[in-house]
Amino acid sequence: MIIARHGASLALLVLSAIALLASTAASLGVVSFDYGADSLKTALIKPGMTPDVVLTRDSKRKLPAVVAWKMQDRSYGTDALNLATRYPGDSYPAAKLLLGRSFSDQAVASRYARLLAANLTATDRNTFAVTRATDYTLDNSGPDTHTAEELVGMQLSHAKMLAEETADEKLKVTYPGTIGTFGGLDAVVTVPAYWTASERQAIFDSATLAGFRPRIVSDAAAAATSFALSRNFPTPELHLLYDSGHSATRASLVRFSTKSFPTQDLFGTSLKEHTFIEVLSVGWSRDSGGLALDDILRQLLVQKFKENSREDIEANPRAMAKLLLSASKAKHVLSANSDARVNIEGLINDVDFRTSVTREEFEAAVSKQKLDQAFSSVVADALKRGGNAKMSDLSSVILIGGTSRVPLVQKSLSTAGVPANLIAQNLNADEAIALGAGFYGASFNPQLKMKPMRVADVNAYPIVLRESDGKEELLWKGSPETFEEEVKARYYDGATEDFSFEIEYGPGAEKLLSDGEFERPLYRVEVEEINNTLAALKAAGELSKVETSVNVSIASRPLGAVVVESAWLTVKPKKGGVVGALRNFFGGSAAGDEADSAAAVDVDAAGSEASADNATNVSSATNSSSTPVADALHPRHVRLSVKTIPLGSIKPMSGETQTKSKDKLYLADAAARRKLQTEEVRNKLESYIYRVRELTSSDAPAGFVAASKPAEREKMAKLAGEIGEWLSAGGKSVERASAEELRGKLGSLEKLVQPVERRQAEARGRKSASSKMNRVLSDARDFLTQADANLTEAVASGTSSRFARTDLDALETQIKAEGDWFAKVEKEQEKKGQDEEPAWRVEEVEKRSKKLADKVGKLKKRRIPKTRPVASGKRGDNKTSSSSSSSTASAADETPKHEEL
Ligand SMILES: *[C@@H]1O[C@H](CO)[C@@H](O)[C@H](O)[C@H]1NC(C)=O
Ligand SMILES: *[C@@H]1O[C@H](CO)[C@@H](O)[C@H](O)[C@H]1NC(C)=O
Ligand SMILES: *[C@@H]1O[C@H](CO)[C@@H](O)[C@H](O)[C@H]1NC(C)=O
Ligand SMILES: *[C@@H]1O[C@H](CO)[C@@H](O)[C@H](O)[C@H]1NC(C)=O
Ligand SMILES: *[C@@H]1O[C@H](CO)[C@@H](O)[C@H](O)[C@H]1NC(C)=O
Ligand SMILES: *[C@@H]1O[C@H](CO)[C@@H](O)[C@H](O)[C@H]1NC(C)=O
Ligand SMILES: *[C@@H]1O[C@H](CO)[C@@H](O)[C@H](O)[C@H]1NC(C)=O
Ligand SMILES: *[C@@H]1O[C@H](CO)[C@@H](O)[C@H](O)[C@H]1NC(C)=O
């Protein structure tokens, strides 16, 4: 029976202990992802690079959060966006809205389906998937289905690739708890502060599919980090972050202060001042954002369309997609103007649609749907949940998010009682979150030498633990308490049997969770292996002679989701005799007997029942009659096995599902890469065929004709014709041709053309190479004559010379060799036609003439005398002077001839 329970808090993650290890790693940094409903922004923080967002393939600062297919071809970002109006059923924007939501929550489905045309289907985990409208599979196995996690995973994978290209380094794959500790590129993904455990788990799973396991941070904490970067807070300040985005609007209350934290550095642990950021609370409206405004404008447009047409435009997904796009554009125009013109060509059945909307009409429609109230109510909610803060407590209200620029949203702020002078627009509204998340990640790594910052993230929902006897205890209180402590330890003293407990959203969460069908229960946790471990003691009736205790470590990872990380059973003998079963249990030997006891103590029972039993039994053989004192025995620690059973209607991704999805994404990526390569080669081949056609036509360039024989040109023309016909005929053999195959065809054609082109190039370069060689030869000869004279005279007059005889001899030999060789090949070349392989190559002659010119140049530049005046008495003794004396002997005007070098 469980006798006593109590909770205790573990300190913040201890990161610094291993931080020094990072110093051996070559590189480090953080890649952060701000995955929104309309765009994905990625930032890179890396030493030696300016912290910045990662540019997309088309050099944009954000990637539209859309993945779309045209037949089998997948595209991202702007390309995908461009497909949205043409293939509304095959393009999937705003997948964020589907992540971690229950398929049975029809509010989610109907909202998504109304706005965006995708065909939503359920997974066997009761989550959302999309099904393509048409079967494009090669084996006709039915239209492809992609889960929301896969859609998001694909986009994260694409963004990851862009970041890795920019960083010239791969993102590392580690557990999120180790952020900042092992060097390499860490990953951070932002989530709306109000996201529930299943939503957080879903984006974490998406990232896992993309090949990394990020640290999760709320968008509020990320933006607050951006804000704090350039500011100091000698006295605590409260600020409200008002973030109105594409799908939702939220206000977060943040306290900034300065606080000392133990910090480890090379010299040990000391207290160090940090900027301390606490996200105390959040107020939100899931359905009020840019998309909702677009929808209202679209409804207005539909109304106006219907005034003049009887077409059932709402039943036409393509027309509705076009209208949504125009509505969004009109919304931007209306932010700065009092009316907006809308002009859509071929909206439906090739009929154009022209109309205009005024800001007045728009705002009236918004307040009719009470959307303006939603924009303002989030402010009061955040203040109330943040410990009943008052407007007058605030230092400022900071606006971020694209929709916060819309005038009616700013009006809603004033309705909410925010004085105009409190409103600050000093953060980059679009990029504060992505960059802030990067700095947040960097704050974990002392090596990145950031301003010291510590962030306690918002904890929007209370979380309770309910024991099997119904007793509840708060694990995390929820706002204004933050997630400063991410790990909680619980102790069950006296536990002698397997037990279970449940983790749920706490009291009051229902109200917070009411927007959608959320469920309070989260997980049932079953702690096992206690019965098994204690079976032998129980059987022997010796249980009363030991003290037992179980500790359970419960962590919020990913932040906002809950996992039980470990459970341990500790068994201590009570004072008194230790005999029989008890003695066996503790390993059958006294503590002094180190080797034996260690073997028995470290048994890990987490694995299987069998090993637990065997462990209990392990020392039966060493039954001895001695009776050691209980205190001398080591307590036994047994790691227990923990089963976590999700209780909500959404089942988490199993390992198997995850592996399958990962493989699927990997294969799709590989196929896309192959396809890209193949396309590149095919384009090259096509343009090469055009070139060959031109080169072999009647108006081919004269140089090419001169450099080739008619038979050669015929052969090229024939081959180019054959390949060209094959290509333009199309069909399966072309469609399925691999890059290799195409490259082979290109190669066979190049093999015919390139020799001719080389000849042309030779002919063009020949004259200058030849005259250069002749000039170098004659220069060299002149120099040799002068130098020879200088040396001879120096020797004769007993003064010094810069030249040595051996050098000049070697030079002379080289001049002769080059001169003879070049004269010979020049003569051969004279007999060659332009369409023949040349007798000498420009490249070789240039190499040879350069070598000779360099040699002469070196000798010319020589300053230090090589030949010294001959000392009167000691000629023969000196090496240098002996060489010059020998040349003196062979007369002044005759240079000795050498055979070979
Ligand atoms: C949606 O998907 C289901 C299941 O594949 C299919 O039966 C249905 O025809 C699809 N609907 C549309 C509009 O594509
Ligand atoms: C639980 O017990 C094990 C074994 O004694 C120990 O290693 C671990 O640190 C304890 N955990 C907590 C949370 O107290
Ligand atoms: C553990 O033992 C207790 C009684 O000793 C029993 O009631 C319980 O069912 C057992 N649990 C398991 C999982 O076997
Ligand atoms: C545990 O003991 C059982 C029965 O004695 C045996 O079948 C099993 O192989 C043992 N397992 C281990 C891990 O030793
Ligand atoms: C425990 O030990 C006894 C005696 O050595 C042996 O007979 C029994 O099979 C063992 N039990 C297990 C489960 O290994
Ligand atoms: C253990 O030792 C006791 C006393 O010497 C003996 O009676 C008993 O049979 C032994 N048990 C085993 C399993 O050897
Ligand atoms: C030889 O060269 C040196 C150095 O350039 C020069 O000073 C000297 O006058 C030259 N002598 C003759 C004879 O050319
Ligand atoms: C050889 O010439 C060098 C350079 O002038 C001089 O320093 C050295 O003393 C001479 N050696 C003899 C043996 O004269």
Q: Say what percent of the chain tops pLDDT 70.
A: 86
Residues 700 and 648 in one domain: no
Six token digits for residue 320: 């509705």
Residues 452 and 478 in one domain: no
Ligand nearest to the CA of 608: 4
Taking alpha carbons only, the member of 332, 322, 319 closest to residue 293 is 332
- Give 94 or 507, the one with higher predicted confidence: 94
From the CA of 532, the nearest ligand is 3
Report the pLDDT averaged over residues 117-141.
Answer: 89
Q: Which amino acid is at 509?
A: A
Per-residue pLDDT at 644? 92
Cβ < 6 Å from ligand 3: which residues?
A: 497-498, 531
Distance CA 104, CA 516 (A): 10
Domain final residue, candidates 435, 456, 477: 456
**Quick one: average pLDDT of 526-555?**
92
Is the per-residue pLDDT at 290 higher than 90? yes
Mean pLDDT comparison of 73-82, 225-234, 590-599, highest-scoring range: 225-234
Cα–ligand 5 centroid distance for 579 (angstroms):
17
Angle at 20 between CA 18 and CA 25, to 5 degrees: 105
Sequence length of the chain is: 901
pLDDT of residue 20: 34
Amino acid found at 517: E
Ligand 7, atom 1: nearest CA belongs to which residue? Answer: 790
Residue 595 binned pLDDT confidence (cut-offs 50, 70, 90): very low
Residue 315 in contact with ligand 4 by CB distance below 6 A:
no
For ligand 8, atom 14, the nearest C-alpha belongs to 878
Instruction: Read off the pLDDT of residues 368-381 as tens digits, 9 standing for 90 and up.
Output: 999 999 999 999 99
At 866 the pLDDT is: 64
> Cα(103) to centroid of ligand 2, in Å?
40
Long-range contacts of 476-479 (CB under 8 A, 24+ apart): 476/506, 476/556, 477/506, 478/506, 478/508, 478/509, 479/280, 479/281, 479/282, 479/385, 479/386
Q: Is 893 a residue whose pLDDT tops 60? A: no
Residue that is last in its domain, among 456, 487, 509: 456
Name the percent of the chain lying above pLDDT 90.
65
Mark whether 423 and 553 lie in a shared domain. no
Flag whether 552 is in a domain.
yes
In the three-class reduction of DSSP (H, G, I as helix; E, B as strand; rest coil), residue 840 is classed as coil
- Say which DSSP state 763 is in: H
- 497 and 448 within one domain: no
pLDDT confidence of residue 625: 37
Binding site membership of 748 for ligand 6 (Cβ less than 6 Å)? no
Q: Is 342 inside a domain boundary? A: no
Least confident of 309-313, 463-467, 525-529: 309-313
- Is 355 a member of any domain? no
What is the arithmetic mean of pLDDT over 501-516? 83
347 or 580, higher pLDDT: 347
Which ligand sits nearest to residue 610's alpha carbon? 4
Task: Give the least confident one: 236-240, 446-450, 723-727, 834-838.
Answer: 446-450
Residue 815 Cα to chain centre, angstroms: 61
Confidence of residue 71 (pLDDT cuts 50, 70, 90): confident
Judgement on whether residues 621 and 746 belong to the same structural domain of the protein: no
Top mutation candidate among 784, 801, 861, 863 for ligand 7, by most atoms within 8 Å of CB: 801
Which ligand sits nearest to residue 786's alpha carbon?
7
Is 333 or 895 the better-scoring residue by pLDDT?
333
Instruction: Report the pLDDT value the prediction gives residue 899, as an integer from 0 to 100.
Output: 40
Same domain, 432 and 491: no
Instruction: Tell me, in angstroms, the distance from the centre of ligand 1 to residue 109's CA.
Output: 15
- Token pair 């909410």 is at which residue? 416
More confident residue, 803 or 780: 780
pLDDT, tens digit (0-9, with 9 covering 90-100), for 17-47: 333 334 444 578 999 999 999 999 999 999 9
Work out the average pLDDT over 736-751. Answer: 94
Confidence at residue 601, expressed as pLDDT on a 0 to 100 scale? 33
For residues 100 and 178, give the distance between their C-alpha atoms in angstroms, rounded to a whole number: 25
Ligand 4 contacts CB of residue 610 (under 6 A): yes
645 and 675 in a single domain? The answer is no
Would 504 be classed as within a structural domain? Answer: yes
Is the CB of 646 within 6 Å of ligand 1?
no
Ligand 4 pocket check: which of 533, 609, 613, 614 to mutate, most ligand atoms within 8 Å of Cβ? Answer: 614
Tell me the pLDDT tens digit for each residue of 653-677: 989 999 999 999 999 999 888 888 9
The answer to whether residues 256 and 241 touch, using CB atoms and an 8 Å cutoff, is no
Q: For residue range 666-707, what is the model confidence (pLDDT) as tens digits?
A: 999 998 888 889 999 999 999 999 999 999 999 899 989 999
Question: pTM of the prediction?
Answer: 0.73
Judged on CB neighbours under 10 Å (0-12, 13-18, 19+), 873 is exposed
State yes or no: pLDDT of 606 exceeds 70: no
- The answer on pLDDT for 322 being more than 60 is yes
Within this chain, do residues 634 and 719 fall inside the same structural domain, yes or no?
Answer: no
**pLDDT the model gives residue 869:** 57
Q: Which of 786, 788, 790, 893 to mutate to test the pocket of ligand 7 (most atoms within 8 A of CB)?
A: 790
Reduced 3-state DSSP string for 542-566: CHHHEEEEEEEEEECCCECECEEEE
Domain boundary among 422, 437, 456: 456
In this structure, the residues whose C-beta lies within 6 A of any atom of ligand 7 are 790, 793, 801-802
Average pLDDT over residues 829-854: 94
Q: Report d(CA 209, CA 569) in Å as an integer.
A: 35
Question: Is residue 685 a part of any domain in this protein?
Answer: yes
Q: From the CB of 551, is ligand 2 less than 6 Å away?
A: yes
Determine the distance separating the centroid of ligand 3 and the alpha carbon of 798, expressed in angstroms.
114
Say which ligand is closest to the CA of 552: 2
Q: Which atom of ligand 6 is nearest to the CA of 623?
A: 1
Count how many Cα atoms sit within 13 Å of the Cα of residue 683 in the half-sphere of its side chain.
6
Output 465 or 882, whichever has higher pLDDT. 465
Same domain, 697 and 589: no
Residue 867's pLDDT band (cuts 50, 70, 90): low
State the distance from the centre of ligand 3 to the C-alpha of 536, rounded, in angstroms. 14
Count of domains for the chain: 3
Q: Average pLDDT in the 773-799 region? A: 92
- Shared domain for 626 and 677, answered yes or no, is no
Give the range of the structural domain holding residue 544, as residue numbers without chain letter. Answer: 462-653
pLDDT at res. 583: 73
Q: Which of 864, 866, 868, 878 has most ligand 8 atoms within 8 Å of its beta carbon, as the pocket-test mutant?
A: 878
**Average pLDDT in the 161-188 region?**
85
Q: Indicate the angle between helix axes 739-797 and 655-695, nearest 10 degrees.
A: 70
Specify the 3-state DSSP secondary structure of 612.
helix
Between the CA of 604 and the centroid of ligand 3 the distance, in Å, is 20
Residues 152-164: what's their mean pLDDT? 96
Q: What was the pLDDT predicted at 165?
A: 95
